[in-house]
């Protein structure tokens, strides 16, 4: 097919949930993708954070082919054992904080967050859940209700009850909100979709202390920050924060739909058969792919590459801010989860459009921001090529 035919089919039959860019991507390799007419683009979105080790990664292809020749889904699903699942569980124990002793796999990050909220209510016998303003936890009705952005909530009223919101990064606000009705506090250790907000180093430790004192469970939503996106395998692990639930997805399987959550032994001891489940949860195919991706992250020391590439990005972006203070208000982020905040949404939209015209995919976020989160194994030359395109786009818009 040609791009025109693809456009016509999707515009006619796809549900109208996305304002589409008129580009039809046919294939990819590493940080590059090609449309149906053969034009090459650089991807600084990594499919919204999921293709963490690049497009068409050979280790993922090999895992898919090898496992698909054995079995995709067990008889009786989760009621039977799986060597693929057992292998992934062992590897997860290597990378997770040691106090998180029990793991369950899901199909997405929203599903993992939904389960953690549900189970926190079961364990505590309480109903209320606190989240933060500008947070994003998913698109199910429960996780949309937990998302601290009106645009993702209010159009779906009536929402699920018993959700409250506090200011991100402000422990005093949380302290005032905590009471005997609060089952859990769910938080992103670095807010992603909400604008890449990085809290102070002491904030999460103080959050942990306040939750412990109140008998409230702490849920760390590491769907976007997990698996080396910011450098360490998990942000909460690096900070020494002992959470009760850690939810994950996106980078866990390099683009294959997969997620999960880990919980402490104390939490797991208060759960029973039937408290949670799912037909595809922990399916052998997904487990094999996730194992291959995590093994790649470890064997190729991706954490070190992320820190190096992230430093290059921040230094280059700081130069843009210095040269164009009228256009760029802030540069922030950690590792390869970064945001350039422009003077207003119009500036950001024009820069994003100019980047695409020049062959670079970026993601406009929260109106005035452009989020940069490429594959974690990006090479320095590839990174420099993309940054050069983005710089040229900024200069063209400013001019």
Cα dihedral: 158, 164, 166, 172 (round 10): 170
- The per-residue pLDDT for 155 is 87
Structural domains in the chain (count): 2
**Cis peptide preceding 158, ω within 30 of 0:** yes
Q: Per residue in 272-301, pLDDT tens?
A: 999 999 999 999 999 999 999 999 999 999
Query: In terms of domains, do 106 and 247 share one?
Result: yes
pTM to 2 decimals? 0.96
- Confidence at residue 19, expressed as pLDDT on a 0 to 100 scale: 85
Q: Which domain holds residue 230?
A: 60-299
8 shares its domain with 101: no
Strand, helix or coil for residue 128: strand
Question: Quick one: 169 and 271 in the same domain?
Answer: yes
In terms of domains, do 258 and 388 share one? no
Residues 254 and 334 in one domain: no
Q: How many CA atoms lie less than 13 Å away from 98 in the CB half-sphere?
A: 1
- pLDDT tens figures, 172-221: 999 999 999 999 999 999 999 999 999 998 999 999 999 999 999 999 99
Main-chain dihedrals φ then ψ at residue 169, nearest 5 degrees: 85, 0
- Select from 233, 266, 299 the last residue of a domain: 299
Last residue of a domain, one of 283, 299, 315: 299
pLDDT tens, residue by residue, 364-398: 998 899 999 999 999 999 999 999 999 999 999 99
130: enclosing H helix or E strand:
strand 128-132
For 86-115, write each residue's pLDDT tens digit: 999 999 999 999 999 999 999 999 999 999
Q: Is the pLDDT of residue 20 over 90?
A: no
CB 355 within 8 A of CB 362: yes
pLDDT above 90 for 356: yes
CA distance 169 to 205: 11
- Give the whole-angstrom CA distance, residue 196 versus residue 113: 19
């Amino acid at each position: 097919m040609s791009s025109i035919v693809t456009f016509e089919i999707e515009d006619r039959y796809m549900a109208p949930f996305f304002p589409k860019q008129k580009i039809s991507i046919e294939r990819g390799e590493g940080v590059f993708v090609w449309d149906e007419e053969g034009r090459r683009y650089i991807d600084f979105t990594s499919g919204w954070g999921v293709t963490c080790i690049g497009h068409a990664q050979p280790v993922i292809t090999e895992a898919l082919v090898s496992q698909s020749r054995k079995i995709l889904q067990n008889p009786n699903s989760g009621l039977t054992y799986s060597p693929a699942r057992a292998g992934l569980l062992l590897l997860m124990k290597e990378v997770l904080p040691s106090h998180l002793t029990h793991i369950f796999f899901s199909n997405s990050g929203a599903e993992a967050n939904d389960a953690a909220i549900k189970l926190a209510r079961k364990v505590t016998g309480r109903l209320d859940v606190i989240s933060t303003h500008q947070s994003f936890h998913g698109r199910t009705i429960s996780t949309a209700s937990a998302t601290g952005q009106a645009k993702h909530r209010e159009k779906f009223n009536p929402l699920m009850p018993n959700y409250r919101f506090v200011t991100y990064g402000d422990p005093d606000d949380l302290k005032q909100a905590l009471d005997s009705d609060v089952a859990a506090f769910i938080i992103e250790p670095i807010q992603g979709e909400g604008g890449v907000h990085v809290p102070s180093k002491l904030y999460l430790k103080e959050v942990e202390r306040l939750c412990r004192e109140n008998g409230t469970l702490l849920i760390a939503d590491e769907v976007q920050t997990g698996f080396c996106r910011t450098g360490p395998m998990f942000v909460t692990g690096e900070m020494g924060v002992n959470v009760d639930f850690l939810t994950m997805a996106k980078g866990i399987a390099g683009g294959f739909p997969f997620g999960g959550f880990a919980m402490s032994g104390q939490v797991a001891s208060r759960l029973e058969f039937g408290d949670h489940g799912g037909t595809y949860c922990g399916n052998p195919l997904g487990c094999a792919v996730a194992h291959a991706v995590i093994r790649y992250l470890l064997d190729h020391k991706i954490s070190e590459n992320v820190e190096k590439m992230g430093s290059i990005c921040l230094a280059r972006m700081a130069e843009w801010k210095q040269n164009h203070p009228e256009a760029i208000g802030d540069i922030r982020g950690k590792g390869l989860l970064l945001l350039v905040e422009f003077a207003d949404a119009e500036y950001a939209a024009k820069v994003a459009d100019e980047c695409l015209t020049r062959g670079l995919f970026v993601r406009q976020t929260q109106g005035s921001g452009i989020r940069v989160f490429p594959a974690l194994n990006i090479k320095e030359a590839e990174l420099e090529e993309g940054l050069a395109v983005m710089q040229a786009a900024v200069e063209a818009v400013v001019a």
